[in-house]
């Protein structure tokens, strides 16, 4: 507690946003502390005080409204998600919220944050607070306090996402043999004929690389997994579970036309599917991220990253923080943050039913490492437009998953090759799949002619009739959590939890030096 003091000066907020001084300096001091001393430092939150003082949840929210600086979203945009889950709230409480309340004169160190969070959620769920209103433009007869616009937006957007998640709560089992595919890393898989293939870009510089090899799915013996209309008509769903033939371990799964995507939180609101598609369109104008040399040689399209990252290089002093394009400085920026959180949480809720064991393991990592949150999850969101990749392994934590939001191309293009297990998924809109990202995977690449002139669309659905060309489209979302970022978050977590013990140790050390 106290490792992150809430900054109030605008100039400091900007610098803190860029360099995360409070955490970075705390981690530096932590690294200087002898290992034998750190063995006795706390690695958990302090226990709830006994007895603890009851706090009226509405009075607590009014305090946040009267002191908007208590939520330091200008310096740390991800702090707007403090109410998305109990884990989020506890991290916020012990890291910056409780110290801020104490600074304002409240005895918050005697409050029970678990009970407080539960009571706040009850107020949100009822939507009928007694002492204030969520309405920013109430009637003239209103006598209740109007909450600060920023807090009101945070609470309303939080409840919208939680309402959507509450709505989401015959299997085809495919047994597979794991392949030795290390030699395929960096290679390209395509169904295109020779002469109509996307040729790898030449790489230059000190790290000259061999040009990627090109294979067809047939040459590698990859078996297709596609939508089964008969199964869907009979069962109302079409799910495939991929299992390791040797030990029965689940290594992936696919569900076509997931029914949760058609749900509406309210009849007046768009469906979950329409909302995901709209958010993807909103992000499509952003600048895409740059991948490594192997990707640059053999990829198409763009990928936009939303969330937090530990840079592999970057400017001096750069550290684990939100991507530069994210902002919590104004209402528009906060509303945009919650649109990303909506996508992350909805897909998170869907995958919790498809791979519950791996989902639980991943969320335990988020909680243990205290990673920056995007909604209630610690995943980043990657928004892909016509994006393709060579065969590769990702350095991610736990399970990764994807959803196909838009697809206009020939059936054997823009598909997902799970090469390590000898299959590829013939994806289509509303298809969701999960996989172990450290296993070799990539894209079944489109034809060069498809990228240059588009896909032939027959008029009136006549297979032999006239047609016209339309640009190819392959849009999708891909949530995942980088190991590099999670490792940095874990170091930061250790420094935060050890704040009191470390401070006392250095005070004793300095006192000994003075004697």
Tens of pLDDT, residue by residue over 125-155, are: 887 888 888 877 777 777 788 899 999 999 9
Q: Per residue in 205-216, is it b (16+ CB within 10 Å) or e — as a string? A: eeeeeeebebbb
DSSP 319-341: -SEE-TT---SSHHHHHHHHHHH
The per-residue pLDDT for range 222-274, each reduced to its tens digit, is 999 999 999 999 988 899 999 998 898 999 999 999 999 999 888 888 999 99
Residue 321 · residue 20 · CB < 8 Å: yes
Average pLDDT for residues 312-340, to the nearest whole number?
Answer: 90
Q: What is the pTM of this model?
A: 0.89
pLDDT of residue 5 exceeding 50, the answer is no
Q: Is the pLDDT of residue 293 over 60?
A: no
Please give the average per-residue pLDDT across 55-60, as a whole number. 95
What is the pLDDT of the chain when averaged over all its residues? Answer: 89
- Evaluated on CA atoms 155, 403, 271, 457, the torsion sign reads positive
**pLDDT for the residue 285:** 73
Tokens for 469?
A: 């060309």
Q: Which residues contact 306 (CB under 8 A, 6 or more apart)?
A: 283, 323, 325, 326, 340, 374, 380, 381, 382, 383
Length of the chain: 515
Task: Give the position of tokens 């763009």.
Answer: 302
> What tens digit of pLDDT does each residue of 431-488 get?
999 999 999 999 999 999 999 999 998 887 667 777 899 999 999 999 999 999 999 9
- What is the rounded average pLDDT of the residues 84-105? 96
Q: Measure the CA angle with vertex 336, ends 361 and 13; round to 5°.
A: 90
What's residue 482's pLDDT? 94
Interval 43-61 mean pLDDT: 91
- Residue 163 reports pLDDT greater than 90: no
Q: Model confidence over 342-387: pLDDT tens digits? A: 999 999 999 998 999 999 999 999 999 999 999 999 999 999 999 9
Statement: residue 306 has pLDDT above 90: yes
Q: CA 54, CA 216: separation in Å to the nearest integer?
A: 66
Tokens 């226990």 appear where?
Answer: 47
Q: What is the pLDDT of residue 142?
A: 76
What pLDDT does residue 454 have? Answer: 95
Identify the H or E element spanning 449. Answer: helix 448-453
pLDDT tops 80 at residue 507: yes
Domain boundaries, the chain: 10-167+498-514, 171-272+283-312+381-479
């Amino acid at each position: 507690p106290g490792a992150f003091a809430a900054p109030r000066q605008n100039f400091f907020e900007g610098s803190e946003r860029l360099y995360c001084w409070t955490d970075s300096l705390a981690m530096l001091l932590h690294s200087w502390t002898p290992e034998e001393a750190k063995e006795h430092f706390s690695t958990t939150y302090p226990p709830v005080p006994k007895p603890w003082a009851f706090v009226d949840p509405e009075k607590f929210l009014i305090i946040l409204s009267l002191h908007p600086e208590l939520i330091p979203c200008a310096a740390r945009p991800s702090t707007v998600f403090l109410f998305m889950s109990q884990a989020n709230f506890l991290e916020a409480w012990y890291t910056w919220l409780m110290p801020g309340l104490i600074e304002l004169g409240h005895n918050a160190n005697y409050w029970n944050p678990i009970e407080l969070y539960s009571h706040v959620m009850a107020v949100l769920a009822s939507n009928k607070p007694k002492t204030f209103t969520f309405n920013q433009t109430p009637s003239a007869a209103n006598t209740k306090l109007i909450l600060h616009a920023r807090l009101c937006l945070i609470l309303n957007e939080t409840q919208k996402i939680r309402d959507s998640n509450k709505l989401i709560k015959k299997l085809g089992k495919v047994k597979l043999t794991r392949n030795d595919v290390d030699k395929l890393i960096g290679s390209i898989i395509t169904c295109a004929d020779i002469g109509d293939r996307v040729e790898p870009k030449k790489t230059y510089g000190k790290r000259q690389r061999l040009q990627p090899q090109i294979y067809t799915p047939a040459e590698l013996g990859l078996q297709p997994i596609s939508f089964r209309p008969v199964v869907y008509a009979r069962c109302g769903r079409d799910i495939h579970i991929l299992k390791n033939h040797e030990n029965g371990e689940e290594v992936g799964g696919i569900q076509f036309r997931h029914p949760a995507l058609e749900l509406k939180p309210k009849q007046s609101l768009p469906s979950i599917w329409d909302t995901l598609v709209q958010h993807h369109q909103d992000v499509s104008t952003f600048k895409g991220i740059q991948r490594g040399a192997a990707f640059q040689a053999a990829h198409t399209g763009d990928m936009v990253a939303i969330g937090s990252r530990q840079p592999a290089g970057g400017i001096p002093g750069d550290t684990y923080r939100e991507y530069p394009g994210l902002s919590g400085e104004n209402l528009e920026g906060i509303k945009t943050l919650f649109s990303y959180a909506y996508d992350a949480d909805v897909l998170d809720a869907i995958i919790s039913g498809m791979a519950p064991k791996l989902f639980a393991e991943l969320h335990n990592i988020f909680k243990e490492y205290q990673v920056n949150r995007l909604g209630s999850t610690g995943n980043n969101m990657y928004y892909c437009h016509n994006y393709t990749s060579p065969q590769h392994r990702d350095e991610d934590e736990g399970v990764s998953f994807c959803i196909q939001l838009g697809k206009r191309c020939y059936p054997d293009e823009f598909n997902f090759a799970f090469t390590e297990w000898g299959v590829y998924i013939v994806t289509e809109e509303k298809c969701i799949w999960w996989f172990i990202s450290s296993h070799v995977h990539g894209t079944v690449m489109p034809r060069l002619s498809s990228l240059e002139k588009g896909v032939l669309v027959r008029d009136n659905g006549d297979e032999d009739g006239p047609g016209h060309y339309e640009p190819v489209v392959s849009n999708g979302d891909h949530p995942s959590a980088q190991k590099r970022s999670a490792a940095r978050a874990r170091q930061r977590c250790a420094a935060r939890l050890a704040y009191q013990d470390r401070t006392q140790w250095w005070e004793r050390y300095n006192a000994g030096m003075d004697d």
